[in-house]
Amino acid sequence: MNLLILVVLLSLTMANSAEMNKGLTAILDLGKQMSNMRNMLETYSLIATKVSYKAPDERLKKGITEYEGVIASIEKNFKDAEIKKSIEVGKKAWEPVKKALLTALEDNDPKRMMDEGLFIHGNIRSVIKELASMKKYLLTKENIKSSEELNAAIEIAASSQRLSAHYMMKMWGLPDPTIQEHWDNGVRIYTDSIKILKGSSYYKDAVFKKELDATEKHLSYFTTVIMFDDKFVPVLVHEKAEIAYKSANQMSKIILKHIAK
């Protein structure tokens, strides 16, 4: 009898652990897709400005495939009403954005791409909003310890891509008056997230501290380089954003390792 109880308890523990792992994986995947959306916006801008660094056409196609794969996976693994609603809204918003993004592969004339660029920037936020909503829901549902710190690391990664994308749109000269507003919001989220992580116990970890300090240094670079309207450095900004993104993901891994203990 005692053995049966032990087996049942062990099975429940394993089931709960598997459920949490599924939730954590989804949270990280959603965060990555928030970054991916901004990256596709950046890539579209690079194609329009004829910056062929790192094969933007292929990166755009890869980004589209990656996003749709993650959404399909989450739709399969989560039946929560909140998740289903976000997926439904997100899919509806995604289809015209995807169609607009793909026009860059057919005709990369900068003047023609302006209208599509304005549409993408104006509507891709609806897709990102649903990704953020699902992330927030799962962070609450899973009752994950260090959820605030994990979310901060995810937001630094997403903000690095947001700033890079809006830098490229400014370089392109996209006539969108909201670019500065979204840039400022990205800086605020990035800054607030650094503050959260600096005030956490994780900052005592030497590796974590190194990565967080690096992301702060990159933020300082972004806020400096955006002020120069006469000289744009898209490759440098892209590379700095990629490094910040990787540092943020490394911090997420450290937090997850702590959560798993």
For the chain (length 261 residues), average pLDDT per consecutive 10?
45 45 92 97 95 91 98 96 98 98 92 94 97 96 91 98 97 95 97 98 98 98 93 96 98 91 67
CA dihedral sign of residues 259, 253, 27, 153:
positive
| Confidence at residue 133, expressed as pLDDT on a 0 to 100 scale | 98
Task: Express the helix, strand and coil content of the chain in percent, nearest 5 each.
Answer: 85, 0, 15
| Confidence at residue 27, expressed as pLDDT on a 0 to 100 scale | 96
| Confidence at residue 261, expressed as pLDDT on a 0 to 100 scale | 67
Assess contact for 123 and 97: CB atoms under 8 A. yes
Taking only the tens place, the pLDDT of each residue in 34-77 is 999 999 999 999 999 999 888 999 999 999 999 999 999 999 99
State the DSSP code for 231.
-
Q: Which residue has the tokens 């969108």?
A: 176
Whole-number Å distance between alpha carbons of 58 and 43: 10
CB half-sphere exposure, 181, CA atoms < 13 A:
5
Assess contact for 259 and 146: CB atoms under 8 A. yes
